Structure 1
Amino acid sequence: MRGREEEQDAIIAALKPVVEGIVATLGSLCEVVVHDFRRPHRSVVALAGTVTGRTVGGSMSEIGVGLLARGDEAADELNYVTRTDSGKLVKSSTMLLRDSAGAVFGALCVNVDITAVNQAFALLGELAGVTDPVGAPTTTFGDDIGSVVDAIVDAHQLRQNKHWAELSRAERLELFRSLDDRGVFAVRGAAQQVAERLGISRASAYNYLARTRNRTEPGAPAPEGDPAPAHKGVQA
C-alpha cells in the first residue's frame, strides 16, 4: 500500500510544474488543475489560470464527484461544455490519473473560457441568418465541496419544480437515486449535508438512500421501523 501511495504522490508531483507550462502556452483564457481524489474536500493540489476562480486546496466540481463515485470504472471526460455560476462558458477535458495497477487516484483538468468565442459565433450566426445556441448546463466550481453538493441537490429539485415537502414518495426516492448516481454520497459528510439542504433528518436521508439501494448499510441510523440503509460508498 505504501508503495502505491508513493507512486501516486510521484505522479502528482511530476504534473505540478506541467500546469504552468500548459497555461503559458494556451494563454490567459486557459486554466489547468491537478486533482487528488484521495482528498475530495481539498482535491486541488496544483492550479494555474483563473477561469473557475478556484485556488489550491479547493474542492472538485460535480464532474469530479461523479468520477470519484465511479472509481476505477470511470473514464476520461473530454471536450464537454459547461457554464459557471458567473455565466462563463467553459470547454473542458478531465483526464484521469491512474497508477501502474490501473487505480484511479486523481485527474488533470483543462478548462478554457470560450465565452467570447461563443459570443462571436452567435454574432456571425445572426449576421448570416443562422443561429446555433449552446445550451450548456451550469456547473458549480468552488473551493468548498459543500457548495458543490448543495448545487447538485438544488439542481435536482429545480428540475422537479417542487420543494421536498411537495414531492411524492416516488419522486423522493428518485431524487435520492439520482443523487447517488451522480456520486454525491461518495463525499464524506454528504448524507448529513443533503439532509440539512432538504430539511429532513440524517436518519431519514439514510433511510431513503437505503430504499433506493435495497441493501444494508452497517451502523447507519434509520428511523424507527425502517430498514437500515444500504452500503455503496456512503461517507457519513
Structure 2
Amino acid sequence: MAPAPDAERDAILAALTPVVHGIAATFGPVCEVVLHDYRNPENSVVAVAGSVTGRTVGGAMSEIGMEVLARGDEAADQLNYLTRARNGTVVKSSTMVLRDSAGAVFGALCVNVDVSAVTKVRDLLGALAGTGPAPAELPVTTFGNDIDSVVDALVDAHRTRQRGSWPELDREERLELFGGLDARGVFAVRGAVEQVAARLGISRASAYHYLARARAARDPSPDTSPGGHS
C-alpha cells in the first residue's frame, strides 16, 4: 500500500532537516538554509540554519515561495538567482521544490548566501579597472517571518509601478494590479483578499470582484472564483 500523502511528506521533511544544518555548517556564517512546508504557507518554515535573512522556525514563506505556490505542480527549481533583501544585503539563492511520489509540490529547500562583501569587491575592482557598466538593479525581496509583511510588500510594489492611488487607477490598471498579485501567489494565503482590500482602502466585495475579473480575463475556462486555481 502506498504511504498516505501527508505521512510521506512528513518523512521527506524529517529526512531533509539534518541536510539543512549540514549545508549551513559547510559554508559557514554567510550561508542560510531554510526548509519550507507549503501546506502551511503562513508558518511554512520547519527548519532553518544560519541567519542571512533572519528566518526562524514557524516563519512565513517569502515572495519567492508564494510564486512557487502559485505555480503548483508546474513549479520548477530556481537556481543561482540574485536578489536584494530590504536591509540591503545582496543574496544569492537557490530554491529547490520538494515533491512527493505522485509529483505534487508540497515544499522547498532554499539556500541563501550573503554575497554583499563579494559584490562590493567586484564593484571596487571594476571601478579601478574602468571596465563594464554598473550591474543592473537587483529586485528587492521581502524575507519576513510574518506573512502579512510579505503580502503588504507585494501590494506596495505593485502600486509603485502604477500611476497613483486606487481611485486614480482605471479599470484595466485595477485588473492588472489584481492579476499581478494573483500571479505572485498572494491570494493562496488565507485572509489575503481581506488584507489587500484593507491595504488599498476598498471593500472586501470589491476586492473579490476585481480578483474574479482578473482571473476571467487571464483564462476564462478554469474556475474563476476567488478560491479556485487551475
Cα deviation, residue 212, structure 1: 1.3
Paired residue secondary structure (1:212): helix
| Residue matched to 1:232 | 228
| Contact 1:216 1:230 survives alignment (8 Å) | no
How many aligned positions are there? 225
| Residue matched to 1:133 | 135
Structure 1 pair 207/3, CA: closer, same or farther in 2 (3 Å)? same
| Residue matched to 2:145 | 143
Structure 1 pair 4/230, CA: closer, same or farther in 2 (3 Å)? closer
- Rounded to whole Å, the distance in 2 between the matches of 1:105 and 1:229 is 23
Q: Which moved more, 1:123-132 or 1:51-60?
A: 123-132
Gaps of 5+ in 1: 219-227
| Contact 1:31 1:111 survives alignment (8 Å) | yes
Aligned counterpart for 1:193 among listed residues 188, 192, 195: 195
Paired residue secondary structure (1:121): helix
Cα deviation, residue 230, structure 1: 4.8
- Rounded to whole Å, the distance in 2 between the matches of 1:118 and 1:70 is 31
Cα deviation, residue 132, structure 1: 3.4
What are the equivalent positions in structure 2 for 1:1-236 lying under 5 Å apart?
3-130=4-131, 131-214=133-216, 229-233=225-229
| Contact 2:222 2:229 survives alignment (8 Å) | no
- Rounded to whole Å, the distance in 2 between the matches of 1:206 and 1:103 is 28
| Contact 1:67 1:74 survives alignment (8 Å) | yes
Paired residue secondary structure (1:27): helix
- Rounded to whole Å, the distance in 1 between the matches of 2:146 and 2:60 is 6
Paired residue secondary structure (2:113): strand
Q: Which moved more, 1:60-69 or 1:129-138?
A: 129-138
Amino acid at match of 1:34: L
TM-score in terms of structure 1 length:
0.90
Quote the sequence identity (%).
Answer: 65
Q: Which moved more, 1:154-163 or 1:102-111?
A: 154-163
TM-score in terms of structure 2 length:
0.93
RMSD, matched Cα: 2.0
- Rounded to whole Å, the distance in 2 between the matches of 1:51 and 1:134 is 22
- Rounded to whole Å, the distance in 2 between the matches of 1:127 and 1:217 is 56
Gaps of 5+ in 2: none
